[in-house]
Structure 1
Amino acid sequence: MEYARVAFPLPQDLTFSYAIPVRLQSVAQRGSRVLAPLGEGTREGVIVDLMDEPDLPDDSIEIKNLADCLDDTPTFSDELLTLTKWMSEYYLSSWGEALRCAAPAAVRTRQNRLVHLLATDEQIAEMRQSRQTEILSILKEDDGLSIHQIARRMGAGISKLRPPLAALQEKGLVELQSNVQSKARPQTISVVSLAKPVSEIHEQISQLGAGRAPKQAEMLRILLDCSDETLTTTELTKRANTSLSGLQSLERKGLIHFESVQIVRNPMSLDPVPSTQPLTLNPDQMTALQAIQGAIDSAKRELFLLHGVTGSGKTEVYMQAMASVLDQGKQVIVLVPEISLTPQTVSRFVGRFGSRVAVLHSNLSDGERYDQWQQIKGGAADIVVGPRSAIFAPFPNLGLIVIDEEHETSYKQDAAHPFYNARDVAVRRSELVACPLILGSATPSLESFYHARQEEYILLRLPSRVSNIEMPPVEVVDMREELKRGNRTIFSTSLRTAIEERLSKGEQIILFLNRRGFSTHVFCRACGYVERCDHCSISLTFHFHTKRMGCRHCGYERPTPQVCPECGSAYIRYFGLGTEQVEQEVVKAFPKARVKRMDSDSTTRKDAHQQILDVFRSGEIDILVGTQMIAKGLDFPNVTLVGVISADTALNLPDFRAGERAFNLLTQVAGRSGRSEAGGDVILQTYMPEHYSIQAAQGHDYIGFYREEIGYREALLYPPLSHAATILLRGEVEAEVTQAANQLLDQLEVFKEDRFPTVEIRGPVPAPLAKIRNKFRWHFLLRSEDVEELRELIQCAVAATAPTNIDLIVDIDPMSVL
């Protein structure tokens, strides 16, 4: 008998031993996804090891069999198993949680627990408990419903349904069965082909045409004429203007075959992408490529930081390096921030490398993601372009990893364990497979540039734009002076004049504000009351078009009051500025301009993001108003003016990375202007013109910014001079959260004094966002130069505390402390 050790996506970092039944021994391999009994049901897990003997803590434990194997070939290679194990250890998650990150949701299973009726009519009639009786009555009418379906019919929550269901199960009146389905399956089409020699088909056409089946004769004639085409049943019946019954009749006569053929759901645009050829590189690009080429040719793991200003041709360097890797029969992973992953970005790679490019991102359907993953796994694709999760692409012979806009915070997972940073995972994966890694950015993360200064990364520079196009001049406008001059509008005199000038020339304008909505809060001027979310400790944002207020954290909405709920005053005012209000002000100030807004509120429909960009590119929009969606990776030659309505929004956040985020965003959005020989300008409005992030952005001066910021980080021992970790505790009862936080502090201090004296502990204090979705939040910030000590201290203290009814979330190397 063979045995498997299986990891499940559970918070506890445990694995479980199972016997492999004979029927599964040929397919159940290390890295295979399996179904296995766990608790009361069956769960999907991954085999992480095979054994001759079960690994059981107690010989009296009965070992169970695996229920099924979901893979013909393993989903996870040995390399990906090693990578995910490292992730689980570094980010303090379970191995199963790390493995869940490494496979797209589309290839996972969906499990329903179905409830089947066992009770007789007499037993139902004798039942006295109302909820149990209601469940049995529902099942009598419609047996085999899922728990969720029963809950919906009863109008009850799942939690209230569990006790009566458990009681019915214990009495033997119902049984629960697990129903496991794949989230996505291969898509097939039915194609038609001739089953007889051509001479016989001609005879049949004559007979059928002379008889009562002219449509059948017509279909045979079409199949003869299109013998070099693959016709589906739908296409054939449409061409012959007939129904499926005629085709079925031809099949019964043995004249045609039906065959089921699997097709690939293509997420690319249906419009053909013109092929492109490699461009001639300038000397700086050539120097960078030669350095990368040396590492590719020697199959050597080197880490390159490609620091190039916006428009300097970083993508061309990537693509020529990628072509060299493909020539060696190897594969490439290209990571792009989700926000930049537009068809425009993907088409650059498709235009150069054709159908060998697979794409992964969140806007794909489950079916499209499933097919793209299978294309990668099956060897039909050599390049994958995608967001952070694409770092787990199952390439067997990886030759290069590229991370574009490597400074982007979206490379950090923040929704579920493990809270990994794809950049750091890429560094580890490049080490495992001994391949080069290129980190590209106009505004490198402080961590990456620090590593380059320490000679841990090789720094490559592209200091100028291609074709000798100058960087756009940036004018900083002090809005305090505008206010003194009586200008209370959102447009400075300089920005208003520049917009009018560009509109008169038929040129395009981008106006940027990284805050959506109409107003950031609704305020009573009589008593000072502010409308706040009922579930979170933040003010509600007013949306003009819906006339409703909404919470950007939990989605809660309610109508805007006409009078103050607190004092009854009618002096309700809207304060703060969002993109929706900017759009309105632009329309008022420039009534002849064609204006469009692009933010997460205006792009909720699938492909809405791309549709707006396509219309803008075609010249049908004069002014595009938007958030950070318009700041990244977009190239519009006719944009000659970028206006930043308020440069201060990011600077005012209580976060040690606030200055870095502000500089990065301002530099990136400024880079959208002047990307052709027509040139361009940037006007940056601020109430803090003296801030070093603003001044550095004005001069496109990354080095100047780095010197200031690294000095601040050194003085306070913030990353990259140390490693940081946050511990967040949250729960519905504030007193319980506070108590758990103080208990954890006691344990942290005990272990720190005993074993980890160099770790600095700050907190616990209420988090800046002290309540979200009805849960109160307290947090700690820990720092140490030794990340191993940091992680071990947290593990020891959390294990010793183990609070109940409290969520405890650990984030190693956090991107935010909000």
Structure 2
Amino acid sequence: MGYYILETAVLGLPIRETFDYVAGSEMKIGQRVIVDFAGRIETAVILNVRKVETKEEIEKIKPILGILDERNLIDVKDVALGRKVAESFLSPIGKVMELFFPPGMELKLKEMVIKKSEMAPGFEGNETAVEKSKYVARLGGGRRGNATLMKLLKLGVVDITVSYRLKTPKIKKEKVVYLNADIGEILKNMKPSRKRTVLEYLLMNDGVSVKKLRKDLNLKDSRVLKDLEKFGYIRMVDEDERMEGYFESFPKPLLTSSQRKVVDRILSSKNRKHLVYGVTGSGKTEIYFRVMEKFLHDGKNVLYLVPEISLTPQLLARVRDRFRGYEVGVYHSDLKKSERFGLWMDVVENRVRIIVGTRSSLWLPIRNLGLIIVDEEQDESYYQGDMEPIYDGVKVAEWKAELSDGVIVFGSATPRVSAFFLGKIGKYDLHEIHERVMGKLPKIEIVDLRLEEKYGSIFSKKLVDAMEKSLKIGGQIILFSNRKGFFPYVMCGNCGYIHRCRNCDVAMTYHFETRSLRCHYCGREESVPKSCPICGSREMVSRGFGTERVEREVLRIFPGVRVLRMDRDRIKNLSDLTTALELIKDQKVDVVVGTRMVTKGLDFPNISLVGVLNVDQLLNFPDYRASERIFELLAQVAGRSGRGRFEGTVILQTHNPDAFPIKFAVNHDYPSFYYREVKNREELNYPPFSELVRITVSHPQPEDAKRMAMDVKHSLLDEIGSEILGPVEALIFKLRGIYRYRILIKSMNLAKDLDGVRNVVNSMNLWKHIKVEVNPPV
């Protein structure tokens, strides 16, 4: 017969160890089981199974309480990936393994008290079982009731049984209603009726959900909508297909010789890792599509990663248009729980051939995976550093491809210096494209703000003149600002005091729409102080500008112009984003004012001018990647212009025109920027010539944070041989009421150094106060 020892990870717990349980029958890796963990009932996933023959070997090991999955919903490759991520980023294994399962799958428990003796109190009439909460209440409730129950259990007059069930979200796709015809003439001849009311409503609310339409019009059911659909007046589609008509359908384009060369090399190479460096507008997406066609034809599935939700609507529309014969799914954190669960089940059952998604889609248990595309591989959004588990999505994608024996293609107009280095030394096959498919790269003009005449406090005269010219020819304009809000800070004009958040060591931003100050880190909101708390002066003045102020300044200079602001305050979800993109595409917007959101991969043919208003503060940011970040930002935002019928122009306002990343960006010269930057990094032993491990030590008291950080540093000196810098105060020393010190390791042997870090933190029992980031982006 034998027994089976199961190595498990308890899902969702911030614990870095695995735990053994016993089962009486054979189980599979990847199955979930119910376990007793420290007196609590928890869900665990099986990482390994070992058969033993004697009862003695299992005497001190707890048995599982039950089996949650009759089959394994994730497989050996998924478990191997989870182990690799937990080990390589020192992340809790239970938190990592939880990522493989969609949110909304809840374990519902029911505890019953069973009557075992007539002496047992608290039972009424012929009752033999009572729900535990009710029984405790009958015994006096609270601590008293629980204490009495424990005594009764020891006496053996009652027992407790536990039943459980897995509650999953209902898979229900929301329907969206569109007008399907020019109904102006139809309405002229239609008598007042429910149908007419619906059509008139849709004239003002085209693309509304069925749920909202029925609520607004007080419709008891959808019969009238089905009748209108039968007549061809409307069409109802699933909400996730809303963007199908976002772009007009284009015929499959002919490849340029450069594109064809890249496609052929990827498909014929023995190397399974590829980096496509192509300037903006060089047709990288079409290259991905041609490679995808081959893998799909061969029966393989494809994962197409994008860094942000903002890129999924445009891309999803293009993918669905091109690959009409294949099931395409989308997966990201903005979806409802039911939508994520539905897609997850489709993936488990191998019903989806192409998945478009953000970093969360890396954890889908994709079967028969042949190809992973990582678009905009340089983007920092692929790195999850703000919550456990911490991991680098680009690295996880590479490991996922390896475990699936698949091909991975990274792509960017501004690759990470470390990635380009790997291409140069042959770890990746490097493919370069230096020209656009159509049109020329935009001309970038520098405005030296030290010398140039200004038009107000934000715009140079040169930028205002260029905006006027662009508006006259019917072009659209993007204005990039690196800050949200109206004024980045409020200060005392007398003593220089700057009003800061009491929870965070940062200045509070003034927002015109709410007439309040807001902290962009903890969300705290305050009214503007009437006087200085230091000197009492009532001369409180505002400085700088953010997207709100830029928006109002545009309207002041160009009255009547249609302005759209795109930042996290205005674009709060995918629906807001979809609406904004439709307005731009339909040319119902003249000027788009935005933060980094407008720099990432969006493709519109009528953008004729891009204005970059303020990037100077990024040049002096205390981070080894500051130059890389500036070059990337300028190249990406500049790349939004000149993609259609207008020649593109970029106006860059700066006080530092001689900074080398700006100079290289003006000439669209990434290779020269790379050689200059990689030389600097080699001299300073920064990546790619080392790997970084950043340790953040946090505590509510600054003295305790500093003491713990010094203790960690001294212990690390005995454990590892790599260079250790710090501890120093974090750039934002106080964040959400917690003080933070940082230690930086320039590792020459990452696996060995991480073992050293793990040993130190374990021995000091400091995981509660420690955050470890491996090769963090910032």
Task: Please indicate the TM-score interval, normalised by the length of the shorter structure.
Answer: 0.7 to 0.9
> Paired residue for 1:369?
340
1:492 equivalent in alignment to 2:469: no
CA drift of 1:487 comes to: 5.3
1:37-186 equivalence runs, <5 A: 37-53=36-52, 61=60, 63-69=62-68, 71-106=69-104, 108-109=105-106, 169-172=146-149, 182=167, 184-186=169-171
The answer to whether the Cα contact below 8 Å between 1:98 and 1:418 also exists between their aligned partners in 2 is yes
Query: Which residue number corresponds to residue 644 of structure 1?
Result: 612
Q: Report the Cα offset of residue 421 of structure 1.
A: 1.3
- Match for residue 427 of structure 1? 398
What is the one-letter code of the residue matched to 1:766?
Answer: E
> Is 1:314 aligned with 2:316?
no
Aligned residue number for residue 807 of structure 1: 769
Q: Equivalents in 2 of 1:733, 1:172: separation in Å?
A: 42
Give yes or no for contact 1:308–1:461 (8 Å, CA) kept in 2. yes
2:449 aligned to 479, 504, 510, which one? 479
1:430-471 residue CA offsets vs partner (Å, 9 max, x unmatched): 22222221111000101110001111111111211113x110
Superposed, 1:430-445 pairs within 5 Å as 430-445=401-416
Please give the alpha-carbon distance, in whole angstroms, between the structure 1 residues aligned to 2:112 and 2:559: 62
**Aligned-partner residue type, residue 101 of structure 2:** A
Contact kept in structure 2, 1:333 and 1:384, CA below 8 Å: yes
Alpha-carbon deviation of 1:272? 4.6
| Counterpart code for 1:333 | L
Match of 1:327 among 273, 297, 302: 297
Q: Deviations over 1:225-282 (max 9, x none)?
A: xxxxxxxx965698799xxxxxxxxxxxxxxxxxxxxxx9752316557665432100
The answer to whether the 8 Å contact 1:102/1:389 transfers is no
What is the Cα deviation at residue 801 of structure 1?
2.1
How much has 1:728 moved relative to structure 2? 0.6
Secondary structure, in 3 states, of the residue corresponding to 1:650? helix
Q: 1:187 to 1:593 in 2, by over 3 A?
A: closer
TM-score normalised over the length of structure 2: 0.84
Matched residue, 1:608: 576
1:456 to 418, 427, 447: 427
Partner of 1:393: 364
Provide structure 2 residue ranges, at least 5 long, that are not aligned to the other structure: 116-120, 123-132, 152-159, 175-219, 229-236
Q: Distance in 2 between matches of 1:538 and 1:42?
A: 42
What does residue 781 of structure 1 align with? 744
Q: Deviations over 1:197-250 (max 9, x none)?
A: xxxxxxxxxxxxxxxxxxxxxxxxxxxxxxxxxxxx965698799xxxxxxxxx
**Cα shift at 1:60:** 5.3
Report if aligned partners of 1:10, 1:96 keep a CA contact under 8 Å in 2: yes
Of 271, 277, 291, the match for 2:265: 291
Which residue in 2 is equivalent to 1:653?
Answer: 621
Match of 1:14 in 2: 17
Question: In the TM superposition, what whole-angstrom CA distance separates every residue of 1:118-146 from its partner, at most 9, and x where no partner exists?
Answer: 9xxxx99xxxxxxxxxxxxxx889989xx
The verdict on how the C-alpha distance between 1:428 and 1:746 changes in structure 2, with shifts beyond 3 A counting, is same
| Partner residue in 1 for 2:6 | 4
Counterpart position of 2:191? none
What does residue range 204-215 of structure 1 map to in structure 2 within 5 Å? none
Query: Are the equivalent residues in 1 in contact too, given 2:726–2:742 (CA < 8 A)?
Result: yes
Shift of 1:91: 1.0
The letter of the residue matching 2:765 is A
Contact 2:20 2:61 (8 Å CA) reproduced: no
Which consecutive aligned stretches of 4+ in structure 1 deviate over 4 angstroms post-superposition? 54-60, 110-116, 139-144, 164-168, 173-181, 233-241, 270-277, 485-488
Secondary structure at the residue paired with 2:642?
A: coil
Say what the alpha-carbon RMSD is for the aligned residues: 3.2
Name the SS for the 2:260 alignment partner. helix
How far apart, CA to CA, are the structure 1 residues paired with 2:757 and 2:55?
Answer: 28
Q: Paired residue for 1:216?
A: none
Q: Which residue of 2 aligns with 1:746?
A: 714
Please give the per-residue CA displacement for 1:706-732, whole angstroms capped at 9, x wherever unaligned. 122112211110111100100011111
Note the C-alpha offset of 1:109: 2.4
Aligned to 1:681: 649
Summarize the Cα distance change of 1:110–1:60 in structure 2 as closer, same or farther, 3 Å threshold. closer
Q: Which residue of 2 aligns with 1:714?
A: 682
Cα distance in 2 for residues equivalent to 1:699 and 1:239: 57
Q: Partner letter of residue 44 of structure 2? A: G
Measured in 1, the distance between the counterparts of 2:48 and 2:239 equals 35
State the Cα deviation string for residues 139-192 of structure 1 (Å, max 9, x = none). Answer: 889989xxxxxxxxxxxxxxxxxxx96675334399998976535233499xxx
Please tell me whether residue 624 in structure 1 is matched to residue 592 in structure 2: yes
Q: Which amino acid aligns with 1:811?
A: E
2:418 alignment partner in structure 1: 447
The alpha-carbon deviation at position 700 of structure 1 amounts to 0.8
Q: Give the conservation status (yes or no) of the 8 Å contact 1:447–1:720.
A: yes
Judged with a 3 Å threshold, the aligned counterparts in structure 2 of structure 1 residues 301 and 11 are, in CA distance, closer, same or farther, namely: farther
Change (3 A) 1:587 1:237: closer
Match of 1:268 among 235, 241, 247: 241
Alignment of 1:527-566 (within 5 A): 527-566=495-534
> Residue 716 and residue 346 in structure 1: after superposition, are their counterparts in 2 closer, same or farther (change >3 A)?
same
- 1:670 corresponds, among 633, 638, 651, to 638
Alignment deviations for residues 786-811 of structure 1 (CA, whole Å, 9 cap, x no partner): 2123212212222232238x521111
Q: Does structure 1 conserve the Cα–Cα contact (< 8 Å) formed by 2:334 and 2:573?
A: no
What is the alpha-carbon distance in structure 2 between the residues aligned to residue 58 and residue 528 of structure 1? 72
**Aligned residue in 2 for 1:580:** 548
CA contact (8 A) 1:301 1:435 kept: no
Aligned to 1:208: none
- Contact 2:694/2:745 (<8 A) preserved: yes
Distance 1:414 1:167 in 2: 44
* Other-structure match for 1:251: none
Q: Say whether the 8 Å CA contact 1:7–1:48 is kept in structure 2.
A: yes
Q: Which amino acid aligns with 1:471?
A: L
Tell me how many residue pairs correspond in the alignment.
696
Residue segments in structure 1 that go unaligned for 5+ positions in a row: 125-138, 145-163, 190-232, 242-263
1:279 and 2:253 are equivalent in the alignment = yes
Q: Give the deviation of 1:594 after TM superposition.
A: 1.0
- Structure 2 residue matching 1:342: 3-state secondary structure: helix
- Other structure's SS at 1:624 match: strand
* Letter of the 2:571 counterpart: T
The secondary structure found in structure 2 opposite 1:637 is coil
Partner Cα distance (1:63, 1:238) in 2: 58
In structure 2, the CA distance between the partners of 1:712 and 1:53, relative to structure 1 (3 Å rule), is same
Paired with 2:226 and 2:418, the residues of 1 have a C-alpha distance of: 62
Cα distance in 2, alignment partners of residues 103 and 388 from structure 1: 14
* 1:603-639 CA-partner distances (Å, limit 9, x unpaired): 1255111211111111111100000111111111111
1:702 aligns with 2:676: no
Q: Distance in 2 between matches of 1:464 and 1:723?
A: 33
Is the 1:97–1:417 contact (alpha carbons within 8 Å) kept by the matching residues of 2? yes
Which of 354, 361, 365 is the equivalent residue of 1:383?
A: 354
Aligned to 1:796: 759
Judge conservation of contact 1:747–1:800 (CA < 8 Å) in 2. no
Q: Percent identity?
A: 34
In the alignment, the residues of structure 2 paired with residue 238 and residue 678 of structure 1 have an alpha-carbon distance, to the nearest angstrom, of 43
